[in-house]
Chain A
Amino acid sequence: MSAAGFAQAPWFALVGLAWDASATATGYNLYVGRATNTYLFFVDVGNVLTTVYRIVDKGAWFWAVKAYNAVGESPPSNEVTGVFT
């Protein structure tokens, strides 16, 4: 509780990401990390070319996207990074 008696709402940010299609993909995995080229986990965002990722911690974040189909997963896309302060 804050001094005023109101609940402190948690901080968060929404990050919009977009990428260009990989022709034989049937879907995309969004990889998320806190250091470059080191991803903690991925989210299957489906067969779309945009997504919104919600972060709840400040600091540096890194994202890359991999395409997948029935055969397997592609190498990663270029990486993008943002620093939240």
Chain B
Amino acid sequence: MTSTGRNFLRCGAWVGAAFVVPLALVPARAFGVDRIAASPPSLANVQAAVNLAVDGDRVLIPNGSAAWFGGISTTKQIRIQAQNYTPTPAGTTGAGATTRNVTITNNSSSPLLDLTSGNTFHVGVGGIRFNEGSGNGNAVRFNGSGSKVPLLYDCYFQVKPRNGNQPDVSVVPYLGLGGVTWNCVFDATGFDNGQSPGSDGACSVVRCPRAWASPSTMGMLDVTGTQNSYFEDCTWLHIFNQAVDAEDDARAVVRHCLLRNTQFLTHGSTGFTGGRHVEFYDNAFQFRAVPSQPLPGNPNGDVALVRYMWFRAGTGLFANNTFEDIQSGTWGPQSEVVLTVENLHRGTFQGAAPCPCTAYPCFHQIGQGHNGTSQVSDPMYFWNNIGTMQVGFIEGSPEDCFGGGASSTFAQLNRDYFVGTTPKPSTPGSPGAYQKFTYPHPFRAVVEGGGAPLAPTNLRFL
């Protein structure tokens, strides 16, 4: 608990208010009201409800379907959700039980819902199914650096191949501070052909306005739950390349999720800074055949999954996950987790470091973190995972540098990464061992209720 001290002026003992402060005549609202959109859930009807809303309100969308050829962009701190949405109980991995009575088909080249976080009320989207249509615009896009981080819950996203520049063609880009996504499904079923949906644009992109060059917020170091982007109780289906790209400065946590035929990655030094840290725990990684494309003699089918996770920058951990072995048809057996020291063969964006890197450690390389002053060793840890989880290496491609060394030389076992049963013992700048962040994320109570409220914040003098 912090104290904000103030010495008040000496007050005379004569009549009246010796110390008077300016006050708002009408107290600020602690809660908003519900703005129910007209039916059907057309863009115009939802936009009209958003126009009426003020900070703290919820815009509720009645049951129905509509195709949108444009989107809604607002900086109002509001949540937009299905009117008849019922929260999925916590711990229901996959969120398949949730009925989504509102369907929006994406025929838009701009984001369908573009929200910006603030410091007073959480922005969010819940209980809506987003179908792919003719558009490549984002389904939901989050911006902002407010402490009331975005909430995305119980939504269903179809994911088709989206070619173009991310984040503009991503289904859900997280471009602001933090956020909590739970009970959401990202599904490329019906769009995949065993190849590579999202070949140019990740299904989701995570960035963070908090600088790479600042201390870790892994686990309980994220004391407010606002610094990392959390995905929990979510499902990704057949999103080979790639479900989530933890891009520049990203701090992501994936937990209690189901990931089938799905790849994640951190972006490397070919971005501005690369990902900062990613945590995976208590997830199920599945490799399954694509029934529509069985291959003779290959019971697993021809699935273009070449890894579950590709680390290219920063640090991370895998704990208590279950892994199914990747035995891809055409591509053969694969390492489940792949490591690359990207700066050995790829140039850093805007020349942040020489190309190739010749001395350990490389710029923002895997197994590195930051203590607030300088880049420091912060090894990756893989512990108590069940099933087949092989760690392998690939080199960055295409070649930018020529003459660079091998990633396995610069990222060494028991120095830069540890595999076994030993939990992550420490983090630079932290006195103790790693601890998983509170599950479920406390901000879920904003939607689901069920507990005492979180502490108010930012108590101050007027």
Give complex CA distance A85, B31 in Å: 37
A68 touches B28 (CB 8 A): no
Q: Interface readout for A8-51 with B: 1 if CB under 8 Å, 0 if not? A: 11011111111111111100100000001100000000011111
| From B4, B56, B453, contact of A24 by CB (8 A) | B453
Taking the closest CB of chain B, its distance from the CB of A54, in whole angstroms, is: 9
B8 touches A80 (CB 8 A): no
- Of residues 103 to 144 in B, which have CB atoms within 8 Å of A's CB atoms? 119-122
A23 touches B15 (CB 8 A): no
Give complex CA distance A55, B178 in Å: 40
Give complex CA distance A38, B273 in Å: 45
B164 within 8 A of A: no
Q: Interface readout for B445-460 with A: 1 if CB under 8 Å, 0 if not? A: 1100111111111111
Give complex CA distance A83, B459 in Å: 17
A17 touches B460 (CB 8 A): yes
B13 touches A8 (CB 8 A): yes
A78 touches B4 (CB 8 A): yes
| From A47, A78, A79, A81, contact of B30 by CB (8 A) | A47
Contacts of B359 in A (CB 8 A): none
B23 touches A16 (CB 8 A): yes
B414 within 8 A of A: no
Give complex CA distance A12, B5 in Å: 19
Contacts of A73 in B (CB 8 A): 452-453
B28 touches A36 (CB 8 A): no
Give complex CA distance A77, B133 in Å: 46
A67 touches B461 (CB 8 A): no
A80 touches B456 (CB 8 A): no
Give complex CA distance A67, B458 in Å: 13
A16 with B462, Cβ < 8 A, contacts A74-B453, A82-B6, A83-B8 known: yes
Give complex CA distance A58, B56 in Å: 38
A19 touches B456 (CB 8 A): yes
A48 with B27, Cβ < 8 A, contacts A24-B453, A78-B2, A83-B7 known: yes
A50 touches B2 (CB 8 A): no
| From A9, A67, A82, A85, contact of B453 by CB (8 A) | A67
Give complex CA distance A53, B8 in Å: 14
Give complex CA distance A64, B95 in Å: 39
A23 touches B454 (CB 8 A): yes
- Of residues 1 to 50 in B, which have CB atoms within 8 Å of A's CB atoms? 1-11, 13-24, 27-31
A1 within 8 A of B: no
Taking the closest CB of chain A, its distance from the CB of B82, in whole angstroms, is: 19
Q: Interface readout for B422-462 with A: 1 if CB under 8 Å, 0 if not? A: 00000000000000000000010110011111111111111
A9, closest chain B residue (CB): B15
Give complex CA distance A43, B27 in Å: 16
B binding-site residues for A, Cβ under 8 Å = 1-11, 13-24, 27-31, 56, 119-122, 147, 443, 445-446, 449-462
Q: List 12 A-B contacts (CB under 8 A).
A: A11-B11, A12-B17, A13-B8, A16-B461, A20-B457, A21-B456, A49-B29, A71-B449, A73-B453, A74-B455, A81-B3, A84-B11
